[in-house]
Amino acid sequence: MRRIVLFTGIVSVAAVIGGCGGGAGSDDPAAPSTAPPTDVWDAGAKAAPGVTRVGSPQACPMPFAFDIAAGWQPSPATAESRAGLAAACRVSTTDGDLRVWIGGDPGGTSRLALDQYLQGEGPTADPTYRDTGVGQGAGVELTYSKPGGEARGRAFALATPLRTIVVSVAADDPAAYRKVLAGYLLAKDSLTPVER
């Protein structure tokens, strides 16, 4: 009799342990994922300190101006357009560059300007948009992945009643992209329309 009672107790304990282990296992579709989400916006990146300003008659004349960091050099853009956006300025450093695109259609939107920019960017994937502050105004920002293991692409846009601006950042690899991101964020934080 004692053997039967002991065996029954062992079976009961094993059943309880087994039930606890199977409640929220990896096969449970309702179980939350433990993998951290990818930070496509590089939330920890900070803007670099500004040392000079572009957008004046002396450095990339255009209807917008923004600060650039030490080591960045502005130069006039080559004649290039993307679906209604005209290249206006290139600001370069050893790790990459910022490119400025101006849309001249009154009444345009920031999102439309980014869509126009993306049309000329070649193969891209996973475009993600968000509303964001641009200088003292409200704009839209875009990030996307590029094929072949290259760095991500990123651009912001701001619309005024007269025109729109897109500023994009480019680098050859992920490490360089992380370095130039500080200069890009400086441009985004300091951008000011000169002509409204």
Which pLDDT tens digit goes with each residue over 33-45?
333 346 787 887 8
Q: Would strands 64-68 and 52-54 be described as parallel, antiparallel, or unpaired? A: antiparallel
Q: Residue ranges of the domains in the chain? A: 52-193
Whether the per-residue pLDDT at 29 is higher than 50: the answer is: no
- Radius of gyration of the chain measured on its C-alpha atoms: 26
Confidence class of residue 163 from pLDDT cuts 50, 70 and 90? very high
Residue 95 has pLDDT above 80, yes or no: yes
Which pLDDT score is estimated for 33?
31
pLDDT of res. 13: 37
pLDDT of residue 139: 97
The answer as to CATH 1.20.1540.10 being correct for domain 52-193 is: no
The residue among 142 and 46 whose pLDDT is bigger is: 142
